[in-house]
Homo-oligomer: A and B are copies of this chain.
Amino acid sequence: MSKGSSIRTIHSAHHHFGWDNALAPVLTVAPGEEVDFDILDSSGGQLTEASGVADVAALDFERVNPVTGPVVVDGAEPGDALAVTVVDFEESAWGWTAIIPGFGLLADDFPDPYLHISHYDAERVRFAGGIELPTVPFPGTIGVALAERGLHSVVPPRRVGGNLDVHDLTRGSTLYLPVEVPGALFSVGDTHAAQGDGEVCGTAVETAMRTRLRFDLVKGAELPAPQFRMARPAAGFAPAGKGFYATTGVGPDLMEAAKDAVRAMIDHLGRDYALAPELAYCLCSVAADLRISEIVDQPNWVVSAHLPLGIFV
């Protein structure tokens, strides 16, 4: 990430847990300004490169998902959209992917904690022996304060953004967030080095990163939910040379269809690549993309999980 002498940095000591429009802002920025955010990983530093599965079991959930901020954007008013352009990242060197009991799409199938450490640079994530993913960094949590008073959990994303976990929000993408309070009160956290559509095991390649963002306003946009603009979907960074394998879930409930598609992919990874189920589940979370292939042929819908085979090097 290039240095900009005029660019201000918000250090990760300025983090908070959850969304609350009564929080004191740490910085006020003008539309058009770029700001660097030091972002902790989603464990808030509880997991390290040397952590093991016992550390997952011992996670203090009061300290997960810290977000850096909040920032006041000058002139932002309810009804506006805050346009946040993802300018750049300063990647760190390692990240973690965990199965956390009670969390994740297949929580019932995977009741035990599990931890997997990856190393990465700006180009690729060395996920495991013979498995490499393109590094596609993005902030998993990015949002503004709600109009409703009080402290709101950071876990669920909302109409004002938050824990969106949209991997398309990488360098060059612009996210439009509905503003609900004067100044917007923007915060950001939960940086990921790689993730698939769905983040199915509940975690991506979770990693601390410095992130540079630019703020602009679209007056009176009146958006119902976040929208974004991007050069291409993050899935388009997948290595294409070896093609893709896809599994499906077919049935009357999209959630169950998604579970079936992921279960089938885990089985496929076991049979064809000899991956243990836990590692295969984590790989689906960081590299497979969930698509709704068909949502109109009543009463059955089709959810597909796409895996790029070029990750097997």
Quick one: which of A252-297 are within 8 Å of B by CB? 254-255, 258, 260-261, 263-264, 267-268, 289-297
Are the C-beta atoms of A293 and B248 separated by less than 8 Å? Answer: no
List the B side residues contacting A300 at CB < 8 Å.
156-158
Give bound CA distance, A200 to B202, whole Å.
28
Shortest CB-to-CB span from A224 to chain B, Å, is 6
Interface centre among A226, A233, A243, A299, by most B CB within 10 Å? A233
Is A229 interfacial (CB 8 A cutoff)?
yes
- Chain B nearest CB from A149 CB (Å) reads 20
A87-139 contacts to B, CB under 8 A, are 103-105
Any B CB within 8 A of the CB of A228? yes
Q: In A214-254, which residues have CB < 8 Å from any B CB?
A: 223-233, 235-236, 240, 243-250, 254
**Contact at A296–B244, with CB atoms within 8 Å?**
no
Least Cβ–Cβ distance between A263 and chain B, in angstroms: 8
Determine the residue in chain B with the shortest Cβ distance to A292.
B290
Copies assembled: 2
**Chain B residues closer than 8 Å to A201, beta-carbon distance:** 296
Q: A156-B300, A293-B197, A295-B199 are in contact. Are A264 and B167 (CB under 8 A)?
A: no
Total contacting residues, chain A, CB less than 8 A: 67
Asked whether B250 lies within 8 Å of A230 as measured between CB atoms, the reply is no
Closest Cβ of chain B: how far from A56's Cβ, in Å? Answer: 16
Which residue of chain B has its CB nearest to the CB of A223?
B264
Asked if A20 lies at the interface with its beta carbon under 8 angstroms from chain B, I say: no
Q: How far is the CA of A236 from the CA of B234 in the complex (A)?
A: 11
Closest residue on chain B to residue A168 by CB atoms: B246
From A46-54, A66-74, A302-310, the one touching the partner chain is A302-310
Given contacts A155-B298, A198-B296, A231-B243, 8 further A-B pairs with CB under 8 A are: A155-B297, A224-B267, A225-B247, A227-B246, A227-B264, A228-B245, A254-B292, A258-B295
Between A and B, 7 residue pairs with Cβ closer than 8 Å are: A155-B298, A157-B294, A163-B294, A168-B304, A225-B250, A229-B243, A230-B243
